[in-house]
Amino acid sequence: MPDTAAGRRRSLLHETRCGNCSLSSLCLPLALELEDIDQFDAIIRRRAPLKKGESLFRQGGAFTSVYAVRSGSLKQVTSEGSGADQLTNFYLPSELVGLDGIDEDAYPGSVIALETTTVCEIPFDRLDALSERLPKLRTQLYRSMSKEMRDDRRMMRLLSRKTADQRLATFFASLSDRFRRRGYSPYSFRLSMSRADIGNYLGLAVETVSRILGRFQQQGLVAVSGREVNILDLDALIELAEEEGCH
């Protein structure tokens, strides 16, 4: 009876087993043996799906868990001092959220769902304990953090050296690549974030995002209609993204 509460719960539980998760080749337990995966699986907690706009946690909240995105997408927003927020990251399925809260035992930003989103909650103390026994898990955790640091550096480079056009081009190329890795079309996808989010993330005004998108369209690089994106010339986008300041 899949429609009883118990039936639904079972199917949800079943659904969250890492062993049969389609993301297992990208996610934290990627290096684990079958039996180890079960151990890992055991510490994971299900969360009810988040609806668009709901927050996974709020800035300043006590750090307890990291989260693996299972479906949907989220944004991380940090508001410092009195003023404007800074959008520091978008998270897609298989990515790990909350690692920057370990130090200071508090989340340094709020993380908000951009659409209906499900996540796996991984209590950090249990993850840490398990990582003591599973060197591969530990390694993977180090790798995840290290990767995030590398991505951050790339973002700094984008923010301090690239023109608005290059930022947008980089953004689309990167999204395309992330979708490809997850088995989706790298050429055709739907943006879950608003133009304002994109601008905030890339350090640009909304108007600039809009204008450049228009230009890209004229140049035949992409076809954009609302949040629906078709990438027409990925190579050109990538080239534009990498292009060096011509002296």
Q: Which does 211 bind (CB under 5 to 8 A by kind): DNA, its own copies, none?
A: DNA
Site string for DNA, 214-243 (x = CB under 7 A): x---------xxxx----------------
Given 96, 204, 231, 241, the residue binding DNA (CB under 7 A): 204
Verify binding: residue 208, DNA, rule CB under 7 A.
yes
Binding of DNA by 209 (CB under 7 A): yes
Judged by CB, which is closer to DNA: 66, or 202?
202
CA distance 175 to 181: 10
Does 165 bind DNA (CB under 7 A)? Our answer is: yes
Which part of the chain contacts DNA (CB under 7 A), choosing from 29-37, 123-131, 132-140, 205-213?
A: 205-213
102 and 70 in contact (C-beta within 8 Å)? no
| Residues contributing to the site for its own copies (CB under 8 A) | 78, 80-84, 86, 88, 99-104, 108-109, 128, 131-132, 135, 138-139, 141-150, 152-157, 159-161, 202-203, 242, 244-245
Distances (CA, A) of 56 to 34, 129, 136, 158, 207: 29, 24, 28, 28, 29
Distances (CA, A) of 201 to 60, 109, 155, 198: 21, 14, 10, 5
Strands 228-231, 222-225: pairing kind: antiparallel
226, 213 contact by CB (below 8 A): no
